[in-house]
Amino acid sequence: MFVRLLALCASAIATTDPATLRHCLTTAVDHDPTGAAFEGDFLYQAHAVQPYNLNWPVTPAAVTFPHTSHHVAAVVRCATTYTDTRYRQSQGGHSYGNYGLGGTNGAIVVDLRHLKDRRGLLTGELDTRLFDAGHQAIAHGTSPQIGVGGHTTIGGLGPFARQWGMTLDHVVAAEVVLANGTIVHASGDHHRDVLFAIQGARGSFGIVTEFVLRTAPREAIAYTYTIDLSGSSSRARLLRHRKFASVCVITPAAMIISGTYFGPRAEFDALGSAERIPGVTEATALVFTDWLGLVTHWTEQSILNVASDIPVSFYSRCLAFTEKTPLTDKGVGQIFEYLDTTPSGAVQWMVYFDLVGGAIGDVSINATAFAHRDVLLWTHSYALTLGPVSPTTYRFLDGLNDVVRQVTPGIEHRVYPGYVDPPLENPRLRRIKHQLDPDDLFHNPQGVLPV
């Protein structure tokens, strides 16, 4: 089964006269009074901007709310005609650096929430529509508030990734607004470089206004083991049983190993996974015979996460382990010793160990722009504060990464793109960028630069 859907947000840096810009953008959305908001408008930050990470305040020059891909193209042409502007695509506002708002002040944002018949959907909304259309599904993360467009163009990790690949691996074709304001339909037969680039390199090449996605049906069992934490050495032994988990979450008070087993309950019980993990104080296994019930369960769990959908001030770091650079026993022990003895300065902190591999690695590294298919385990650390992040909290997470690097020879500086990535060193992407956007109209701090 295939499904079509649309995008949610892009941004650009504006340097033209405010009155001229206002007129152009208002015209671009057919003079809809709700189609654009501008810096200085009443409740502009609360209603139009809505930053995700309060630790990185950003104020765009304008936020537009188009209803069609032709509106999007007209907004882009405003940038090329009237401003020295840079755009960047985003989705449900979950950028850790607020890059969906431009990453710096003075951006023009294109919010595609009104294009819900195509790609302007959140993952929770998409799940409901796919379920109603024949109990279909795609792989994605656990939060229902993530925009489908941004999630799809950076990767899309989640509980189904080992079975089906990432969200971007479901992409068959896409409609894209390019830097010159034209609209192209990218597929395996037409504009193949565009399709390659948007599958992992996000908004550096245009604004995706429609996806065609391959779907699949599935039933599953969700399991959770809660472990009472004692000394650091016992916790280290538990984490080495990582093959029994899809996600392992470490907090100051407990370790929670959770995941999804895709198969009958009898097969899951035969694994005896709870009995093989010492220190389990609570174990649950819930059987879900349909996708919508499963993602509802994931939603309930994601509400408890440190990086929820409520804007807060937080800091995060990321590391990747591959077959060549595995997480060692020594590294596990030192991680827990560090967490036990180092002040965090945070209201709450979490460390996630997210098992990947599987179907993600079945796809050739040259098939899409996603550069991390050899990663077997991602580590994401978060620290939440009541106000701006303190130097103590920065040192806490930076020091954790340093500890891991010291005990993991050869580990590379990699970051999952959804958690803010350094620029991708990919010659093919830079050549495509030069062809499609030589002036770097679709710019962002973690984007691809033209040759």
Question: Are 248 and 256 a contacting pair, CB within 8 Å?
Answer: yes
Neighbours of 372 (CB within 10 A): 23
**pLDDT attached to residue 31:** 96
Q: For 427, phi and psi rounded to 5 degrees?
A: -60, -40
CATH of the domain at 393: 3.40.462.20
Residue 164 lies in a domain: no
**pLDDT attached to residue 422:** 40
**pLDDT attached to residue 103:** 76
Number of structural domains (the chain) is 1
Amino acid at 201: A
Which residues 6+ apart lie within 8 Å of 185 measured at CB?
173, 174, 175, 176, 191
**Crossing angle of helices 329-341 and 232-239, rounded to 10°:** 140
**pLDDT attached to residue 139:** 82
Q: Cα 321 to the chain's mean position, in Å?
A: 19
Residue 57 lies in a domain: no
Residue 251 lies in a domain: yes
Residue 171 lies in a domain: no
Residue 6 lies in a domain: no
Residue 183 lies in a domain: no
Helix (H, G, I), strand (E, B) or coil at 168: helix
**pLDDT attached to residue 150:** 81
**pLDDT attached to residue 2:** 52
450 DSSP assignment: P
**pLDDT attached to residue 113:** 83
Neighbours of 382 (CB within 10 A): 21
Distance CA 260, CA 301 (A): 13
Neighbours of 77 (CB within 10 A): 17
Name the pTM for this structure: 0.78
Amino acid at 2: F
- Please return the burial class of 293, using the count of CB atoms within 10 Å of its CB with bins 0-12, 13-18 and 19+: middle
List per-residue pLDDT tens for the chain, 451 residues long: 555 554 445 555 555 678 888 999 999 999 999 999 999 999 998 888 888 888 888 888 899 999 999 999 999 998 777 665 555 555 556 677 777 787 778 888 888 888 866 545 788 888 888 888 777 888 887 777 778 888 888 888 877 788 888 889 999 999 999 989 999 999 999 999 999 998 988 678 889 989 998 887 665 555 565 655 555 555 455 444 433 446 777 878 777 777 666 667 777 777 676 666 666 666 665 555 554 555 554 444 544 454 455 678 889 898 999 989 988 888 888 998 999 999 999 998 988 888 888 888 889 888 898 888 999 888 889 898 888 999 999 999 999 999 999 989 889 888 777 665 444 456 788 888 889 888 888 877 677 778 7
Q: Which residues span the domain enclosing 237?
A: 220-418
Can you read off the two tokens belonging to residue 314? 């937080």
27, 265, 393, 402, 433 from 77: Cα distances, Å: 11, 55, 43, 45, 18
Question: Are 157 and 141 a contacting pair, CB within 8 Å?
Answer: yes
- Please return the burial class of 445, using the count of CB atoms within 10 Å of its CB with bins 0-12, 13-18 and 19+: middle
Which residues 6+ apart lie within 8 Å of 80 measured at CB?
179, 180, 181, 441
Terminal-to-terminal C-alpha distance of the chain? 39
**pLDDT attached to residue 238:** 44
**pLDDT attached to residue 172:** 93
DSSP per-residue letters across 358-426: THHHHS-TTTSS---TTEEEEEEEEEEESSSPPHHHHHHHHHHHHHHHHTSTT------GGG--PPP--
Residue 47 lies in a domain: no
Q: Cα 36 to the chain's mean position, in Å?
A: 26
Pairing relationship of beta strands 171-177 and 89-90 according to DSSP bridges: unpaired
Residue 109 lies in a domain: no
Q: What's the farthest any 2 CA atoms get from each other in the chain?
A: 68
- Please return the burial class of 66, using the count of CB atoms within 10 Å of its CB with bins 0-12, 13-18 and 19+: buried
Question: Are 307 and 316 a contacting pair, CB within 8 Å?
Answer: yes
- Which of 392, 382, 401, 443 minimizes the C-alpha distance to 52? 382
**pLDDT attached to residue 433:** 87
